[in-house]
Amino acid sequence: MKSITGRNIRWGIIGLGGIAHKFATDLINVDGAELYAVASRTQTKADDFADKYQAKVSYDSYQKLVEDEQVDAIYIATPHALHQENSLLCLEHDKAVLCEKPFAMDSQQVNTMIACAQKNNTLLMEALWTFFLPHYQFVLKELANKTYGNILKLEANFGFVREFNDESRLFNKSLGGGSLLDIGIYPIFAALSTLGKPKSINARASYFANGADSSCAMVFEYDHATALLESSLLEQTSNQAIFYCETGVIKLNSPFHGPTTVTVIANNDEKVFDFGYCTNGYNTHGYNYEIEHFNELLRQGKTESNIMSFSFSQLLINTLDEVRSIIGLNY
């Protein structure tokens, strides 16, 4: 893959729902990048989005966007069930792909996407923004350095109440809706990124009438640690990730998966670390950090992230598959 130097990286966005608006808001404030093209199923929606974020062109089909030779990178923000199809379309047209989490519906789809990227020598990365946020990188460093000793226990949850709507993507099982893939991925990510692959997994789930999972409680067992994880669309949880270590506690405050503060309790002292999350004079949603990382990979001609690597994405989807198998969730 050729590197891009001396000009802005020209981005396209496929799928123009809520998360695409947040991504676009951050993208247009990133130095060395521009929102060039957007695509939706309808021209009106594409035009409105383009007008709001000053994109140069708008399309009523994804095919037209990927055929635009001016586009360097594409952010895929479509429903989970379309991630593989959309990613392959982009990769086969030699477009670098940043695909929203979860990467795809299962490990087979993820492996197919990775194989296509490698075949075409084209950059592909799962957009799990938490990995790139300053507060999370701070915690990863503290845990890796064993500043407070080994991790003994992790408690992480993500839950909120949303009125059931069979027409909403969030509850649409055929689109990957439900608590596990949509929000359960974050507590699982917290465990895998700090403790690695668990020795064993126990899980239980509840379900809506349409078969989508409404909540999922998981226990990951390690040699010297336990991770208690939860996702729920039935109740508001603390939305924290708390690491209990040998000589201290590290708490990622709510919402732990997004821009937030970190509280460290050790030596009878409590200290709060505030990361500001203000970039170029504006309060970021937090997507600019993964965008900047992706841009740097593209400028260097890289085809894989050293942070959100293929092997980590495969570990993540394999773990999600295992939890699904345990709770009997099939799409």
pLDDT in tens, 210-248: 999 999 999 999 999 999 999 999 999 999 999 999 999
Cα torsion 84, 318, 308, 117 to 10°: value is: -40
Which domains, and CATH codes, for the chain?
A: 9-129+285-306 (3.40.50.720), 134-274 (3.30.360.10)
> Nearest to residue 237, comparing CAs of 157, 155, 143, 122?
157
| Confidence band, pLDDT 50/70/90 cuts, at residue 166 | confident
pLDDT surpasses 90 at 279: no
| Confidence band, pLDDT 50/70/90 cuts, at residue 167 | confident
Segment 124-145 mean pLDDT: 98
Distance, CA of 97 to CA of 62 (rounded, Å)? 13
The CB density around residue 238, as the number of other CB atoms within 10 Å, is 17
Residue-level pLDDT at 331: 87
Residue-level pLDDT at 193: 98
Residue-level pLDDT at 4: 82
Radius of gyration of the chain (CA): 20
Residue at token pair 């035009």: 47
Residue at token pair 């295992």: 322
The answer, as to whether pTM is greater than 0.75, is yes
Residue-level pLDDT at 5: 78
